[in-house]
Amino acid sequence: MIIFANRKHLTVSGRKGKIYYRNLISPCCTIISFIMLLFFLSACAGSLTRQQNQALMEILSILDSVIAEAEGMLHDNPDPTAQFRDILDRLHYMKEIIEEIKKGNAPYDEELLKKYTEKIAEIEANIKNSLNTVLSSDVFFAPGRYRISDLSGEGKSILKDFTDTIMKVQVQNFRKLFPDRLLTVSVKVVGYADETPPAGALAAVLSQEFPGSLPADPVERKKHFNEKLSFLRAQTISDYVQQSLAAFSEVKNLRIAPTRIIGLGEEYPYPPDYAQPRYQPEDKRRRICKIYSKIQIDSDL
């Protein structure tokens, strides 16, 4: 395994797959300010004064910075399933609530603001310590294949590197920020398929695994089967990753969450304009699997 680092991200190269890891840095100034802000919120909890307004302005300033960082990251990322696309809605929602508090339209809630402050710190830490990898068709599954026995040894090695990086780098960086908190490792796996029509034994297996009525239209039936096939591929990768992470189940204050599994079938993994040359119906670049990891602290937000 070779690690390449530059100012923006660090790449763990695993032959046919790459594990992308951004800014593997210990707590930055912005995150340290979150910790100071928690004490500040406690100090001004009982009053509706200038201190309170100052605390809200500080949170809004940090929120704006994190929102800008997330938007910049997504702007440069063509991946439609990137794991930070959903956090922008959460950040904007928190900003709206805090602005309503600042205007006097909502009560000043110290506990809520503490939770928001920690959640913003968690989100920023995930942005700075994001981890993802892509299994290309060279080490992923051949047409019609989805079982772990069909995955190459090189593919399994890439997955091992991925889980090792979660535990040895991503979790350790979060532990520096939240030394006594429960950390939850959350993995998302997204599988794809090309437009090769599943037939024969494979179609029979897919029908058995996913019972129900089939589309009458042949094209829609093909799409239906390939969506199920892509889900089985993602499920296989998920099972392998979960087995690797299970070795760390006894680590104190660490929880491994169930994997979020998504099968997108014949959808393009990346926008058509991004793929050069353009995607073809039976294109091995469409038989890939994306894997993402993030860390959450024990918050109910």
Residue pLDDT, tens place only, 255-294 = 999 999 999 999 999 988 888 888 899 888 898 899 999 9
Do 170 and 257 lie in one domain? The reply is yes
C-alpha distances (whole Å) from 268 to each of 64, 78, 283 are: 32, 11, 10
pLDDT for res 128: 86
Picking from 298, 296, 44, the residue whose alpha carbon sits closest to that of residue 186 is 296
- Judged against a pLDDT cut of 90, whether residue 185 lies above it is answered with yes
Percent with pLDDT over 90 in the chain: 49
Extended beta strands in 206-281, E state: 254-256, 260-263
Q: What is the mean pLDDT of the chain?
A: 83
Q: How far apart are CA 68 and CA 224, in angstroms?
A: 38
Q: Is residue 163 part of a domain?
A: yes
pLDDT digits 0-9 by tens, 49-106: 788 899 999 999 999 999 999 888 888 788 888 877 778 889 999 999 999 999 888 8
Q: Are 33 and 120 in contact (CB under 8 A)?
A: no
Q: How far apart are CA 230 and CA 216, in angstroms?
A: 21
Q: Is residue 197 part of a domain?
A: yes
Q: How far apart are CA 41 and CA 117, in angstroms?
A: 10
From 105, 128, 151, the end of a domain falls on 128
Average pLDDT over residues 145-152: 87
Give the list of residues 6+ apart from residue 164 with CB closer than 8 angstroms, or none: none
Do 266 and 216 lie in one domain? The reply is yes
> What DSSP designation does 168 have?
I
> What DSSP designation does 170 have?
I
Do 112 and 144 lie in one domain? The reply is no
pLDDT for res 72: 87
Do 120 and 146 lie in one domain? The reply is no
Q: Is residue 5 part of a domain?
A: no
Q: Is residue 153 part of a domain?
A: yes
Higher pLDDT pick, 33 / 249: 249
Q: How many CB atoms sit inside 10 A of residue 40's CB?
A: 17
Q: How far apart are CA 170 and CA 41, in angstroms?
A: 29
Lowest mean pLDDT among 28-37, 39-48, 69-78: 39-48
pTM: 0.80
Bridge partners for 134 per DSSP:
18, 290
Do 104 and 175 lie in one domain? The reply is no
Lowest mean pLDDT among 40-44, 57-61, 180-184, 254-258: 40-44
- Judged against a pLDDT cut of 50, whether residue 241 lies above it is answered with yes
Do 191 and 284 lie in one domain? The reply is yes
pLDDT for res 116: 93
Structure tokens at 15: 């032959």
User: For the purposes of burial, counting CB atoms within 10 Å of the CB of 110, is it exposed (0-12), middle (13-18) or buried (19 or more)?
Assistant: middle
pLDDT digits 0-9 by tens, 132-141: 888 876 677 8
pLDDT band at 198 (very low <50, low <70, confident <90, very high): very high
- Judged against a pLDDT cut of 50, whether residue 25 lies above it is answered with no
pLDDT for res 29: 52
Q: Is residue 12 part of a domain?
A: no
Extended beta strands in the chain, E state: 2-5, 9-14, 17-22, 131-135, 183-191, 254-256, 260-263, 289-297
Q: Is residue 14 part of a domain?
A: no
Bridge partners for 259 per DSSP:
none
Q: Are 69 and 141 in contact (CB under 8 A)?
A: no
- Judged against a pLDDT cut of 80, whether residue 301 lies above it is answered with no
- Judged against a pLDDT cut of 90, whether residue 4 lies above it is answered with no
Rounded to an integer, what is the distance from CA 132 to the centroid of its chain?
A: 7
Q: Is residue 4 part of a domain?
A: no
pLDDT for res 60: 95
pLDDT band at 142 (very low <50, low <70, confident <90, very high): confident
Domain boundaries, position 41: 25-128
Q: What is the DSSP string of 143-167?
A: TT--SGGGS-HHHHHHHHHHHHHII
Do 168 and 187 lie in one domain? The reply is yes
pLDDT for res 299: 56
Q: Is residue 19 part of a domain?
A: no
From 94, 128, 162, the end of a domain falls on 128
From 128, 153, 175, the end of a domain falls on 128
Do 116 and 194 lie in one domain? The reply is no
Residue 251 has phi, psi (to 5 degrees) of -65, 135
Q: How far apart are CA 278 and CA 41, in angstroms?
A: 53
Structural domains in the chain (count): 2
- For position 173, which CATH number holds? 3.30.1330.60
Average pLDDT over residues 206-218: 92
